[in-house]
Each structure stands twice: as structure tokens, then as C-alpha cells.
């Protein structure tokens, strides 16, 4: 909802004095028409095109029901000294906004701020698709940004901002965060590069939606790396199978786990060659500050979280429990 800006008392008094002097008995009409409540019944957005000029702006405002008297608008603009100050763009106006406040808002260039939310864990291809689907953005994204280079967040923009500009803002946000946090890492942190850290964070992002679990999941994978065990992370397999297009539309099978891919951590040692998504700040923080423990395995527990095991025997018990839960849930459905 757009709240009209407050008008200072001195300005109101000046108008109250000047208008009657200029227009005599008609001054009260002009005062009400310019300073009083406008005709707008509900919050409305209007686009003022570049080069519209004062007359074109007046016509657009009157056509949208924002002002009542198109002919009076240029007079009011001239009286307020804003003839050369009105700015083009998309504006949102509140119900009954006065002509004076319309002029003030446009002179300040308070254009409508739109928002787009980039969800945590989207791949770069998914983010590009999200931007391409937004009708208020312009231009083409010339190439898919590297995985893990875009910061998930809610971004403000204005109509006709370029998609490339928004991508650049996401890249800057990710770079600023990773540079800052990497500089504060513990001396004993085992990963050697920012790329490795972001890659681990992307796996953590894909594995669990629970913030409290993320440091523990990160610890599992670092423990496995320390013992030269393959990570065996299902999301890395899915990423390789789907070429970074997002989650698979089916559960992974045993055969899928053997699918040849540089990202398959069941068949390849170490971390995958790059991140598998664009992780959140929370996952990046968790991957840089892992929980210290002896767990090497984890499996779903039926609540959206996981059960953790220190050895294969414990893991098999947890897997059996998960299968019982899954079977019971299937019977109910």
C-alpha cells in the first residue's frame, strides 16, 4: 500500500495564501483541487513513459483516475516549480492521493519497487528461467552463471530493469558474503578453497531443509572426506542426471546411483567438480562451521529430518526403521 508523503505545514500555508490571491474567488476551488483528496478509489499503478512531458503525464494520470482535472495538472506543476523535475517510470498511488502529493512523488522519482524471490537451493538454470518468466524485466541473459555464484534472496527492482543487472547483483551479494566469511574460517578448517566450501554447502542445502541439521550434515561429509570415503550424496547424482535443471521428478533407484557423471559421488572420489545449486547463507555458514562428531551416515527419519549413524551397522538399523515408517505411510495412503 502506498502512503502519500506528508506535506509540511509551511508549504500548505503558502499554497493556501497564494492560490486565493492568484485566482480570487476561484482560489478555494483550485486549493481543493490541488491540495484536497483526489478521485482515486483504490491503489493504482500507472506507467509514465520517458518523453511523456507534463501534458502526456497529465493525460495518463487522468485516464487512470488518479487526478480529476487534466488541464489543472500542468498549472500545479508550474506553481510548485517541478516542471523539469517529473521523472518517468512506474508509480503506485494510494486512494484519494492529492494532486500535490502526486507531483511531489513524481518529482522525487519514487517509482514502484517490485520484488522477486530467489529461493535457496535453486540451480543457476532455474534462476535464469525465473528471471526470464518475469514480465517486468528486460533483456537477455547471455550465459548461465556458474553454479554457486548467485545469492538466494528477495531482490527489489523497478519495471524495465535488465535481467543481467539483477544477475550481477546476485553475484555481487554472493561474492561479498563468501569473501567475508572465508576470511573468518577456523585455522583447522579442512577445505582449501572457496569453491570447495561452496560445493559442500550446496550439497548440505540439497540434503536437509532443517537449519539445525545443516552443521551436522556438513560434519558427516567432512568426516567421510577425512577417511577417504566417497560422499555418496544422492543430490549430486540427481544433478548430474538432470544437467542442472533442478530436482528429478522421481525417486532415485539403485541403477541411477551408478549413472556415469562427473557429479556422481557414488562413483567418484571427493567433492563434485562444482556446486550443485546456489546455497543459502545458512548452508554456507553451516558448511564453514560444521558440527564436530563421529557420524559417517544419515538417513531420513520420516519427519523431514534425519537419523545419524557412526558406523555402517548403526546406519543399517536406521535404514530399516526408515523403511518401516515408509511402508506404514504407504499403507495409509
Domain map of the chain by residue range? 9-108, 114-179, 185-332
Q: Which helix (H) or strand (E) holds 23?
A: helix 9-23
- Specify the pLDDT at position 18: 52
Dist CA 272 CA 196 (whole Å):
9
- Specify the pLDDT at position 247: 86
C-alpha distances out from residue 11 to 38, 75, 76, 101, Å: 18, 17, 13, 12
**Domain 9-108 in CATH 3.30.1490.480:** yes
Among 106, 157, 156, residue whose Cα is nearest residue 4: 106
CB contact at 8 A, 283 and 201? yes
Using a 10 angstrom Cβ sphere, with 0-12 exposed, 13-18 middle and 19 or more buried, the burial of residue 118 is buried
CB contact at 8 A, 70 and 58? yes
Dist CA 72 CA 58 (whole Å):
9
pLDDT tens, N- to C-terminus, the chain (333 residues) = 344 444 444 444 445 445 555 544 455 677 888 999 999 999 999 999 999 999 999 999 999 999 999 999 999 999 999 999 999 999 999 999 999 999 999 999 999 999 999 999 999 999 999 999 999 999 999 999 999 999 999 999 999 999 999 999 999 999 999 999 999 999 999 999 999 999 999 999 999 999 999 999 999 999 999 999 999 999 999 999 999 998 898 999 999 999 999 999 999 999 999 999 999 999 999 999 999 999 999 999 988 899 999 999 999 999 999 989 877 777 775
CB contact at 8 A, 236 and 203? yes
Q: Give backbone dihedrals phi and psi of 317, rounded to 5 degrees, phi first.
A: -65, -40
Amino acid at each position: 500500500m502506498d502512503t502519500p508523503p506528508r506535506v509540511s505545514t509551511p508549504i500548505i500555508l503558502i499554497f493556501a495564501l497564494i492560490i486565493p490571491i492568484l485566482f480570487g474567488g476561484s482560489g478555494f476551488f483550485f486549493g481543493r483541487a490541488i491540495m484536497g483528496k483526489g478521485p482515486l478509489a483504490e491503489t493504482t499503478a500507472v506507467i509514465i513513459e520517458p518523453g511523456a512531458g507534463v501534458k502526456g503525464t497529465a493525460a495518463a494520470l487522468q485516464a487512470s483516475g488518479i487526478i480529476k482535472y487534466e488541464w489543472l495538472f500542468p498549472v500545479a506543476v508550474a506553481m510548485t516549480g517541478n516542471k523539469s523535475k517529473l521523472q518517468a517510470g512506474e508509480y503506485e498511488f494510494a486512494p484519494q492521493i492529492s494532486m500535490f502529493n502526486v507531483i511531489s512523488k513524481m518529482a522525487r522519482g519514487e517509482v514502484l519497487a517490485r520484488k522477486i524471490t530467489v529461493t535457496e537451493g535453486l540451480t543457476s538454470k532455474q534462476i535464469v528461467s525465473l528471471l526470464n518468466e518475469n514480465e517486468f524485466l528486460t533483456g537477455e541473459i547471455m550465459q548461465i552463471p556458474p553454479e554457486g555464484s548467485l545469492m538466494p534472496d528477495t531482490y527489489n527492482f523497478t519495471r524495465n530493469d535488465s535481467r543481467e543487472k539483477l544477475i550481477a547483483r546476485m553475484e555481487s551479494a554472493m561474492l561479498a558474503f563468501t569473501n567475508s566469511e572465508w576470511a573468518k574460517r577456523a585455522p583447522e578448517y579442512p577445505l582449501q578453497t572457496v569453491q570447495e566450501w561452496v560445493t559442500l554447502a550446496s550439497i548440505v542445502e540439497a540434503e536437509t531443509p532443517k537449519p539445525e541439521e545443516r552443521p551436522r550434515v556438513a560434519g558427516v561429509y567432512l568426516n567421510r572426506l577425512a577417511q577417504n570415503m566417497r560422499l555418496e550424496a544422492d543430490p549430486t547424482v540427481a544433478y548430474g542426471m538432470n544437467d542442472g535443471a533442478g530436482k528429478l521428478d522421481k525417486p532415485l533407484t539403485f541403477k541411477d546411483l551408478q549413472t556415469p557423471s562427473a557429479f556422481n559421488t557414488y562413483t567418484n572420489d571427493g567433492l563434485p567438480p562444482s556446486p550443485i545449486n546456489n546455497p543459502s547463507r545458512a548452508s554456507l555458514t553451516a558448511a564453514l562451521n560444521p558440527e564436530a562428531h563421529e557420524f559417517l551416515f544419515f538417513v531420513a527419519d520420516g519427519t523431514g529430518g534425519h537419523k545419524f549413524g557412526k558406523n555402517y551397522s548403526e546406519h543399517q538399523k536406521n535404514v530399516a526403521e526408515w523403511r518401516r515408517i515408509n511402508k506404514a505411510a504407504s499403507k495409509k495412503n
